[in-house]
Structure 1
Amino acid sequence: MRDAIQWLRSLIFVGQIYFMMLPLGILFFPWALLDRRGANAGCKAWCHWVTWTARWMVGLRTEVRGTPPTDEVLVVAKHQSFLDIILIFAAVPAGKFIMKRELMYAPILGQYGLRLGCVPVDRGKRSQAIKKMVDDVAKGRQAPGQLIIYPQGTRIAPGVKAPYKIGSGILYEETGQDCVPVATNVGVFWPRKGIMRKPGLAVVEFLPRIPAGKEKETFMSELEEVIETNSNRLMREAGFDPDGVS
């Protein structure tokens, strides 16, 4: 019975957060069209709405640990569900993403993404996006801010092993920017698929930065070690054993 009630509360919660995209998107849209800061403010308002309603609707509290960067860096994060996107974006002053090109044509959402400085890419052509981004950074066309990327390329369920792709290493090497790794346990409470949201404390943690200038292979090895080790620590803190998943 308790699970059924939690599922129903989760259904209402999920429905209302997606509904709130529309009024908030419309409210901030004129400002967003005129100024990137308007798009940033609108997206952050929605992120704060999500975390506020999660606390009292489904008992899911959130916490950001460490020091979010304010300069131009690569933010390379463990990706378990939509919640880590929300928490990371809300924590940095000018976050931007690599996004699927088809999202450009979504009403309001596509315009917000472009105004934030997100980079649209064709499905399956991530390498071309990386090359274009490196070229834009070199020529000063890229909007300043924190580029948020996911080294495993997609959402990975807690305890599941997946390789780290070389794209993060290429961006790190070619842009010459520091990297701020981010660990998380959000997938324990907010799964990559499904409706159920579990009560507890979901955390994203900004870890000590990896300075620019390291060899790509060295960087990739250090990045994976620090993100996986700290994500496993946060998952254990949440009562989930990442080593117990087959």
Structure 2
Amino acid sequence: MADAFQWVRSLIFMIVIYVWMLVLGILFAPYAMFTKRGALKACKAYARTTLWLARWMVGIRTEVRGAVPSGEVVIGAKHQSFLDIIIIFDAIPHGKFIMKKELLWTPVIGMYARRLGCIPVDRGKKGVAVAKMVKDVAKEFTEPGQLVIYPQGTRVAPGVRKPYKVGTAILYEGLGFPCVPTATNAGVFWPRTGVLRKPGLAIVDFLDPIKPGAARDDFLGMLEDVIETRSNALMREVGFDLDAIH
């Protein structure tokens, strides 16, 4: 009975946040179309409201740990659900995301992603996509901001292993910025599929930066090790049984 009630609460929550996205997107559209500042304000408002609604409606509390990046950095983040995107974006001053190209055609999201300076990637054309991504990122970084990339390329369910791709290392080399590994347990409470949202403490943890200059293979090895180790620790902290997955 309790699970059924939580499922209904979750469904109402999901309807509310997507309707609110549409409403906020329309209200801010005239402002956002003429200035990136307007787009940033709209997206910040949506992120904060969604985190508040998550706590109130479905019992998901959120916490940010570590030193929040504020300068020009690459943020290599564990990606488990839409929730970790919202937490990270709310925490950092000016986030720009590497995102799949298809999202540009999504109502509201596409327009605001363009205005924020997000970089679309065609995941079906790997070599070409990486080269274009580097070129587009270099062009976009005429303005300061924090570039968020998901080294595994997609959402990965808690406890599931998926290789880290070379794109993050290429950006790290090409930009010459520090890379901040970022761990999370958000997928334990807000899964990548389905409606049910579970109450608990969703955490994003900004870890010690990897300074510029590491060799590509060394960088990828360090990045995967620290993100996976810390994400596993965060999941265990909230009672998620990793041993049951493996």
| TM, length-normalised to structure 1 | 0.95
- What is the Cα deviation at residue 7 of structure 1? 0.5
Give the equivalent residue in structure 2 for 1:155.
155
- What is the Cα deviation at residue 68 of structure 1? 1.3
Whether the 8 Å CA contact 2:59–2:199 is kept in 1: the answer is yes
Alpha carbons of structure 1 residues 148 and 99: separation in structure 2 relative to 1, 3 Å = same
What secondary structure sits across from 2:131 in the alignment? helix
Whether the 8 Å CA contact 1:117–1:143 is kept in 2: the answer is no
C-alpha separation between the residues in 1 aligned to 2:49 and 2:59?
A: 14
Give the equivalent residue in structure 2 for 1:244.
244
Give the equivalent residue in structure 1 for 2:202.
202
Correspondence 1:104-183 to 2 at 5 A: 104-138=104-138, 142-183=142-183
Q: Which amino acid in the other structure matches residue 44 of structure 1?
A: K
Whether the 8 Å CA contact 1:87–1:204 is kept in 2: the answer is yes
1:201-223 deviations in whole A, cap 9, x for unaligned? 00000011111111111111110
Alpha carbons of structure 1 residues 103 and 160: separation in structure 2 relative to 1, 3 Å = closer
What secondary structure sits across from 1:204 in the alignment? strand
Whether the 8 Å CA contact 2:74–2:178 is kept in 1: the answer is yes
What secondary structure sits across from 1:63 in the alignment? strand
Whether the 8 Å CA contact 1:119–1:129 is kept in 2: the answer is no
Give the equivalent residue in structure 2 for 1:95.
95
Q: Which amino acid in the other structure matches residue 56 of structure 1?
A: W
Whether the 8 Å CA contact 1:133–1:142 is kept in 2: the answer is no
Alpha carbons of structure 1 residues 222 and 22: separation in structure 2 relative to 1, 3 Å = same
Alpha carbons of structure 1 residues 127 and 40: separation in structure 2 relative to 1, 3 Å = farther
C-alpha separation between the residues in 1 aligned to 2:143 and 2:100?
A: 18
Give the equivalent residue in structure 2 for 1:70.
70
Residue 9 (str. 1) matches residue 9 (str. 2)? yes
Whether the 8 Å CA contact 2:21–2:108 is kept in 1: the answer is no
Q: Which amino acid in the other structure matches residue 83 of structure 1?
A: L
- What is the Cα deviation at residue 97 of structure 1? 1.2
What secondary structure sits across from 1:165 in the alignment? coil
- What is the Cα deviation at residue 156 of structure 1? 0.8
C-alpha separation between the residues in 2 aligned to 1:9 and 1:143?
A: 41
Alpha carbons of structure 1 residues 181 and 108: separation in structure 2 relative to 1, 3 Å = same
Equivalent pairs: percent with the same residue? 61
**Gaps in structure 1 of 5+ consecutive residues:** none
C-alpha separation between the residues in 1 aligned to 2:238 and 2:231?
A: 11
C-alpha separation between the residues in 2 aligned to 1:84 and 1:140?
A: 23
**Gaps in structure 2 of 5+ consecutive residues:** none
RMSD (Å) for aligned C-alpha atoms: 1.6
C-alpha separation between the residues in 1 aligned to 2:127 and 2:77?
A: 19
Whether the 8 Å CA contact 2:184–2:203 is kept in 1: the answer is yes
Alpha carbons of structure 1 residues 139 and 88: separation in structure 2 relative to 1, 3 Å = closer
Paired residues, what number? 246
C-alpha separation between the residues in 2 aligned to 1:117 and 1:65?
A: 26
Alpha carbons of structure 1 residues 141 and 177: separation in structure 2 relative to 1, 3 Å = closer
1:185-236 deviations in whole A, cap 9, x for unaligned? 0111110100000011000000111111111111111101100110011001
- What is the Cα deviation at residue 237 of structure 1? 0.5
- What is the Cα deviation at residue 12 of structure 1? 0.3
Give the equivalent residue in structure 2 for 1:48.
48
